[in-house]
Amino acid sequence: MNSSAVSSSPASASASGAAAVSRPLPLAGIRVVEFSHMVMGPTCGMVLADLGAEVIKVEPVDGDRTRHLLGAGAGFFPMFNRNKKSVAIDLRHAQGLEVALRLAGTADVVVQNFKPGVMAKYGLDHAALARLNPGLVYVNHTGFLPGPYEHRTALDEVVQMMGGLAYMTGRPGDPLRAGTSVNDIMGGMFGAIGAMAALMQRSVTGRGQEIDSALFENNVFLVGQHMMQYAVTGQPAAPMPDRISSWAVYDVFSVKDGGQIFLAAVSDAQWTTFCDAMGYADLKADPALALNNDRVRARPTLLPELRRRLAEHTAQELSAVFERHGLPFAPISRPEELFGDPHLQATGGLAEITLPDGERAGQTARTTLLPLRMGGERMGVRLDPPTLGQHTQELLAGLGYTPEQTQALRAASAIA
The string of pLDDT tens digits covering residues 161-186 is 999 999 999 999 999 999 999 999 99
Domain assignment present for residue 237? The answer is no
Q: Give residue 245's pLDDT.
A: 81
Contact between 401 and 409 under an 8 Å Cβ cutoff? The reply is: yes
pTM (two decimals) = 0.92
pLDDT over 90 percentage in the chain: 92
Write down the pLDDT at residue 21. Answer: 65
Per-residue pLDDT averaged across 54-61, rounded? 98
- d(Cα 254, Cα 309) in Å, to the nearest integer? 11
CB 79 within 8 A of CB 367: yes
Q: Looking at residue 5, what is its pLDDT?
A: 79
Residue length of the chain: 416
- 258 and 112 in a single domain? The answer is no
Would 231 be classed as within a structural domain? no
pLDDT above 70 covers a percentage of the chain that reads 95
- Please tell me whether residues 269 and 202 are part of one structural domain: no
Long-range contacts of 291-296 (CB under 8 A, 24+ apart): 292/247, 292/248, 292/266, 292/267, 292/268, 295/247, 295/248, 295/249, 295/271, 296/244, 296/245, 296/246, 296/247, 296/248
Q: Which of 93, 56, 104, 101 is nearest to 414 (CA)?
A: 93
Is the pLDDT at 343 greater than 60? The verdict is yes
CATH number at residue 308: 3.30.1540.10
Q: Which structural domain, as residue segments, surrounds residue 268?
A: 245-333
Helix count (H) and strand count (E) of the chain?
A: 18, 14
Residue 244 has pLDDT above 80, yes or no: no
Asked if residue 47 and residue 191 are part of one domain, the reply reads yes
Q: Residue 35: pLDDT above 60?
A: yes
d(CA 150, CA 217): 11
- 269 and 354, same domain (yes or no): no
What pLDDT does 242 receive? 83
Note the pLDDT tens digit of each residue in 3-29: 467 775 544 434 344 445 667 899 999
Instruction: Tell me how many domains the chain contains.
Output: 2
The DSSP output letter for 4 is: T
pLDDT tops 70 at residue 200: yes
* Residue after which a domain boundary falls, among 333, 356, 381: 333
Kindly state whether residue 300 falls inside one of the protein's structural domains. yes
Confidence of residue 1 (pLDDT cuts 50, 70, 90): very low
Q: Name the domain boundary from 286, 304, 333.
A: 333
